[in-house]
Structure 1
Amino acid sequence: MKKNGLGTVMEILLIVAISASVGIAWNRTLLTSAWRGEVARPAEAAAPAANAVTEPMPLGLMQVKELVDAKQAVLLDARSRTSFAEGHLQGAFNLPLEEAAKNPSRPLKVQVPAEASIITYCNGFSCHDSMELAKILVKAGYPNVYVYEGGFPEWRDAGYPVAKGGA
């Protein structure tokens, strides 16, 4: 079945007319407001709910190093006490995920200002404890929580300062 040029043009025009009609009908409230010169109201769904949990932001090695060098972050090691004692980022506090999960409304045992930048870490990219710990901290009201995805192995392998022992 062969179509001539006029038939193809008519099909295209029909598709455009139907698409425009559906688009206008779908967005009629928005278009009506725009034609009246009214400012469009933002959708209620655009703003996160007050109790919505934001995902903690991931950080790379260089970002963590800069924050640590500038003393602008609190480091939290989400690994076990044994792993922490064997080696950790210098200046870090140990907060195993299991302990934080026991009291999620008040997970920190050290005094940390609510607006402080907190970096959680664990055993690198295959370890998800640092992300889970970060989510607990966000739910507890700490808005500036980050996750160091490379964790202790990447830090140690880069030759940056590590410490042993203590909690």
Structure 2
Amino acid sequence: MRAVIQRVSSAKVAVAGRVVGQITGPGLLIFLGVGREDTQSDADWLVGRIVKLRVFESEPGRMDQSLLAVSGQALVISQFTLYGSLKKGNRPSFNRAALPEQAVPLYEYFVTQLSQALGIAVPTGEFGAHMNIDAQNDGPVTLVVDSQARDF
């Protein structure tokens, strides 16, 4: 699993003009891609990493607080394009991304595990839909975490 994680002060996602997920206050906007090799253990590892990720500041310039420590929220957006490859030219190939029959259950499992770890419901976008995402980035702070390349 691959995640692009942004620290935000607020974020929302809309499908066909209707807001389907939203967070306010300190939080993380998580773009999540599921690869063909991914399993539930990848989701478990990624959830454990995200909730402990120290990207929130206790004082200016010192990122030492986790999502758990600040009682923050998370918004998860499915994004298969995180597995896009430009190895063979300018048109991305997505053959490393999991097919929907594998990706949907793992995506839902990830969201469930993240909700349990945070003790609150985690809003999401709509898998496979065209989404409009508005985010108020805080920092900006953006990280990429990959369960297959854990030293990324």
Normalised-by-shorter TM-score class: 0.3 to 0.5
Normalised by the length of structure 1, the TM-score is 0.34
Answer 1 or 2: which has greater strand percent: 2
Answer 1 or 2: which has greater helix percent: 1
Which has the higher Rg, Structure 1 or Structure 2?
Answer: 1
Structure with more contact order per residue of length (Cα contacts < 8 Å, sep ≥ 6)? 2
